[in-house]
Chains A and B, each alone.
Chain A
Amino acid sequence: MSVPMVEATRVSKSFGTVEVLKGIDLTVARGEVMCLIGPSGSGKSTFLRCINHLEKLNAGLIKVDGELVGYSRSGNTLRELPSREIAARRAQIGMVFQRFNLFSHMTALENVAEAPVGVLKRPKAEVRDEAEALLRRVGLGDRLHAYPHQLSGGQQQRVAIARALAMKPKLMLFDEPTSALDPELVGEVLEVVRQLAGQGMTMILVTHEMSFAEEVADKVVFMDGGRVVEAARPEILFRSPRHARTREFLTRVL
Chain B
Amino acid sequence: MAEKSFLLEVVTPRRLVLSEKVDEITAPGELGEFGVLPGHIPFFATLGIGEVMYRQGESKRYIAVSWGFAEVLGNKVTILAEIAELDTEIDVERAKRKKELAEEKLKTMSADDKDYLKVKASLNKAMTRMIVAGRRM
Partners in one complex: no
Interface of A with B (CB < 8 Å)?
Answer: none
Interface residues of B (CB under 8 A from A): none
